[in-house]
Amino acid sequence: MFDLTCRQHVAATGLRLPVMGQGCGTLGDPDEVISEMQAQQTLQAAWDGGIRYFDTAPWYGNTKSEHRLGYFLRQQPRDEFVVTTKVGRVYSRPMDPENFDRSPWMKRWQGGLPFDLRFDYTRDGILRSYEDSLMRLGLNTIDALAIHDLDLKHQKNETNVLKALDDLSNHGGYRALDELKASGAIRAIGVGINHTGMIKLFLERFDIDYFLVAMPYTLLDQPALDEDFILCEERKASVVIGAVFASGVLATGTSQDASYAYDKASLEILGRVRDIEQVGADFDVPLGAAAIQFPLAHPTVISVIPGANSPGQVNENLKALAHPIPDGFWSGLKENGLIRADAPIGAYRR
């Protein structure tokens, strides 16, 4: 039985997180545009279901997610919830507003807001991003900040990655975060990770409290076991899993338009999902329940934050978290080579 009121410390900080929160990337309208009413109903369903941890970012919907989340949270008692957001992108008015709908930032989000951005990991950029997030949320405190999308996918090449890391190291970016933490303005420093190898690069330079891991540890793939999670255990950094559904396919199953790693799922991926569903059918375990509960068996993982853009999806996530899963299901996945032999499995341990 899961208790969403029970929280675990993030590393050695004073921040404590429940076993499941709400990822708010979907409130930025990545794939479909939902109404403001539906966004608020989604957040209300999460609150009514006992969720008190909400993670967002300026990038989600080009600031739309922060606006939506802030409107909801401003109506709740501040001491009852945890809210985290991210830094690394700074938003501003576009130079050519009339034609900005053709920008790559607008194309990423079906319902994104028409603001331009720049990556900025310097001291000024980090502090500007932090202050802007406070204003968009309408809150005067944020519990944690995570360095966002400092990776090859978003920085385009290794040179840009190293420059961004140097901005954090040599131009005051990380120092700004450390000062915010030391002052009590935030309680933890995180990093959003989309690819293996980045955790090592960060831990070589900085003291990081937690990593928000988006793809390298799901029911479909576990490359983070090779080095990343070992390093987290050695440095006592916590892990939050952001993309438990591998960007879609582990929630939708093998539908025709299933998404994997933010792209259309391949036939190979769909075949593996089908095989997992077959093992699940033998043990009465829904695919979504397996996806949400699988990462929680790892000792570094303290929370999962699946997204939702409707009350129904929120309720499905809550049901998935609570669904009993017998040990035989996990063993069956290993016996069929569907998860790695060294992946921690079993009932929720905490």
Q: Which two tokens stand for residue 288?
A: 């979504």
Burial (0-12, 13-18, 19+ Cβ within 10 Å), 220: buried
**Integer Cα distance of 39 and 65 in angstroms:** 9
Alpha helices in 144-295 (DSSP H): 152-155, 158-170, 173-183, 198-205, 228-235, 249-252, 267-283, 287-293
Residue among 29, 53, 86, 120 flagged as catalytic: 86
136: closest CA among 228, 64, 236?
Answer: 64
Residue among 55, 132, 149, 221 flagged as catalytic: 55
Annotation marks residue 55 as catalytic: yes
How many other CB atoms are found less than 10 A from the CB of residue 223?
15
DSSP state, residue 338:
S
**Integer Cα distance of 279 and 285 in angstroms:** 8
Is there a contact between 24 and 56 (Cβ–Cβ < 8 Å)?
yes
Q: Which two tokens stand for residue 11?
A: 């590393």
**Integer Cα distance of 275 and 294 in angstroms:** 16
Q: Which two tokens stand for residue 290?
A: 């397996």
Annotation marks residue 262 as catalytic: no
DSSP state, residue 266:
P
- How far, in whole angstroms, is CA 321 from its chain's centroid? 17
Residue among 60, 91, 121, 217 flagged as catalytic: 60
Annotation marks residue 60 as catalytic: yes
Q: What angle do CA 107, 110, 113 make, to 5 degrees?
A: 80
Is there a contact between 260 and 248 (Cβ–Cβ < 8 Å)?
yes
Is there a contact between 106 and 100 (Cβ–Cβ < 8 Å)?
yes
Q: Which helix (H) or strand (E) holds 86?
A: strand 82-87
Tell me the catalytic residues. Answer: 55, 60, 86
